[in-house]
Amino acid sequence: MADGSEVQKVQHGTIPAPRFNVVTFRLTGTAPYVSNKFAAEAREMMRAKQAAGSQAKKGAKRDAKDFDRCFRESMHAFGDGTYGVPATCFRQAMVSACRIVGFKMTLAKLALFVLPDGEDADDASPLVKFAKGEPEHFEAATRNETGVADIRVRGKWPIGWQINLRVQYDADMFSERDIENLLTRVGVQVGIGAGRPDSKTSCGQGWGTFTVEKAG
């Protein structure tokens, strides 16, 4: 057991209470937003393969691809059938943008949060709702990680889509203008969704960019 000399003592009043503010911005797409949700069908196939264990065969019969189902399951939807974007997409994008201005990403994780409008009816992920725009059926030829060619089917929102984004931030670390400038950098340099400029696997397609203006 440690003696008293090894215990760090904190004087009362040295740790201030957190000051969090909330600000709302209207985002307007300057490029298409392309959804990239991990489809329920893919999860089912993965689960079945894992459940089969050693009985799973490499040469197992592959069912025909249902392109319409792939389109529907590529999008995040609320219980009422309306669509949204994972709140984590925006939070991760803001944290990533901190690299551009030399702000520590580890600190930004503790200071920046996006307030959701509800949950995905399928996987319960927090979502922010589209205020404007409807998805189109979009197909693109690509290659899987194994190098095998594939056709990906996704939802694509045309230029002009809108989202009202509520950001909660630590007012002792950021000002409201800081949040606006950071989110503006996200809209120009980082992006959201598939094909965004800050894609982990490529330079992206320039999709998922947007302008920012304060709402209300």
Mention every residue, 6+ apart, whose C-beta is less than 8 A from residue 196: 93, 190, 204, 207, 208, 209
Amino acid at 147: G
d(CA 104, CA 106): 5
> Contact 155/110 with Cβ under 8 angstroms?
no
What average pLDDT does range 189-212 have in this prediction? 93
- Per domain, the residue ranges of the chain are 20-37+76-135+159-214
Res 142: pLDDT: 76
Where does the pLDDT of residue 17 fall: very low under 50, low under 70, confident under 90, or very high at 90 and above? very high
Instruction: Indicate the pairing of strand 126-132 with strand 162-170.
Output: antiparallel
Distance CA 187, CA 189 (A): 6
Q: What is the pLDDT of residue 38?
A: 64
Residue 187 has pLDDT above 80, yes or no: yes
Listed range (32-36, 74-78, 107-111, 212-216) with the worst mean pLDDT: 212-216
CA 71 – CA 75 distance, rounded (Å): 7
> The pTM is what?
0.82
In angstroms, rounded to a whole number, what is the distance separating the alpha carbons of residues 206 and 34? 11
Three-class SS of residue 60?
coil
CATH number of 20-37+76-135+159-214: 3.30.70
Q: Which of 115-119, 162-166, 201-205 has the weakest average pLDDT? A: 201-205
Residue 4 DSSP one-character state: G
Distances (CA, A) of 166 to 50, 124, 170, 191: 39, 19, 14, 17
